[in-house]
Amino acid sequence: MKKILTFLFVLAGLQLAEAQAILLDSLYSVQPLRTETYAQKDGEDLIIDLFLPEKSTNEKLPLIIWMHGGGFAGGSPKNPQEVRFAKMAAARGYAVGLISYRLVRKNTETGFGCDFDAEGKIKTFQMAAEDFMDAAIYMKENSGKFNINPEKIVVGGSSAGAEAVLNAVYNPDLMFEKQDKYSDLEFSAVISLAGAIVDARYINQENAIPGIFFHGTADNLVPYATAPHHYCENEKPGYLILDGSKTIVEKLEDLDTPYLFYTFEDARHEISGMPFPHLPEVFNFLKEVVFDKNKIQSTVYK
């Protein structure tokens, strides 16, 4: 009888293991935090906090690079929500890097709203996009050190961080004077929480990578579709038209590129928060599209 029970326990364990899947389920413990300096700019160390799974194999890890929000004036890679997300992703088999970047609007009178001129906003996007790309270069150059697969890099951000990442990915012609520096970087997918870009017309077959988007239709800061940033009036210095998630998704659909778009009716900028209830669908999309090479174009209305 004891042998039968032991066999049944082993069988149940095997069935449970089969039911769980790498990249979808929480299978691994997470290593202690590692903090690396990826660049020094303007007298500041720019860091990347790395969360890595404890794995017994030498299989290369897919990487997620994440950029926090905060209006280019605040926020931190130490944000508890994003740390929680990083640990969840690492437990599923991802390496996750939460990065800091230059907060050029910190301690300024005008912040990043309608009193800050449009030209300055573009420059801010450019500087943040550059920091993001430098972090990506650092991780690719050190992929062997961290056992990372440099051909499987997912990037993402929230609010200001999403704006920086989206512009770097989809609007490189508008962000970088010397794109050759980043020519070896290839990204597998992008995740945006309430983000926007300068001009969706610059998305083309070459840079149209799969995207996951979360946005509220009544976002009062970052436009859901195409509208002025912060909905500034056209006589204000900060009047700048941006293309939000809906416009980006329409362009990706035209280019036959995979996307997952969560659109929240009447929601405002709170959608820039980490969407924990929907992360299973996010991880599933990444597995299906990035790793299994399936094509998904899906809009979910909430």
* pLDDT tens-place string over residues 94-137: 999 999 999 999 999 999 999 999 999 999 999 999 999 999 99
Does residue 202 lie in a domain region? yes
Q: Indicate if the pLDDT at residue 13 is higher than 90.
A: no
Is residue 11's pLDDT more than 70?
A: no
How many domains, in total, are found in the chain?
Answer: 1
Residue tagged 């509208």 (tokens) = 227
Confidence of residue 19 (pLDDT cuts 50, 70, 90): low
Query: CA 109, CA 128: separation in Å to the nearest integer?
Result: 20
Q: What is the pLDDT of residue 187?
A: 98
Q: Taking the CA atoms of the chain, what radius of gyration do you get in angstroms? A: 20
pLDDT of residue 17: 40
In a domain, 261, yes or no: yes
What are the pLDDT digits (tens) for 57-108? 889 999 999 999 999 999 999 999 999 999 999 999 999 999 999 999 999 9
Average pLDDT on 221-226 reads 98
* pLDDT in the model for residue 57: 83
pLDDT band of residue 26 (cuts 50, 70, 90) is very high
Domain range for 45 is 26-301
Decide if 168 is inside a domain.
yes
Average model confidence (pLDDT) for the chain?
Answer: 93
Looking at the chain, the whole-number percentage of residues with pLDDT higher than 90 is 90
3-state secondary structure the chain: CHHHHHHHHHHHHHHHHHHCCCCCCCCCCECCCEEEEEEEECCEEEEEEEECECCCCCCCEEEEEEECCCCCCCCCCCCHHHHHHHHHHHHCCCEEEEECCCCCCCCCCCCCCCCCCHHHHHHHHHHHHHHHHHHHHHHHHCHHHHCEEEEEEEEEEECHHHHHHHHHHHCHHHHCCCHHHHCCCCCCEEEEECCEECCHHHCCCCCCCCEEEEEECCCCCCCCCEEEHHHCCCCCCCCCEEEEHHHHHHHHHHCCCCEEEEEECCCCHHHHCCCHHHHHHHHHHHHHHHHCCCCCEEEEEC
Domain assignment present for 12: no
Q: Is residue 20 part of a domain?
A: no
pLDDT at residue 22 greater than cutoff 50:
yes
* 179: CATH: 3.40.50.1820
Confidence at 45, pLDDT banded by 50, 70, 90 = very high
CA distances from 56 to 51, 124, 211, 270, 296 (A): 16, 42, 31, 39, 32
52 lies in some domain: yes
- Average pLDDT score over residue span 1-9: 44
pTM of the model: 0.93
Q: Does any domain span residue 9?
A: no
pLDDT tens digit sequence for 129-188: 999 999 999 999 999 999 999 999 999 999 999 999 999 999 999 999 988 899 999 999
- On the question of pLDDT at 5 being above 70, the answer is no
Q: Is residue 10 part of a domain?
A: no
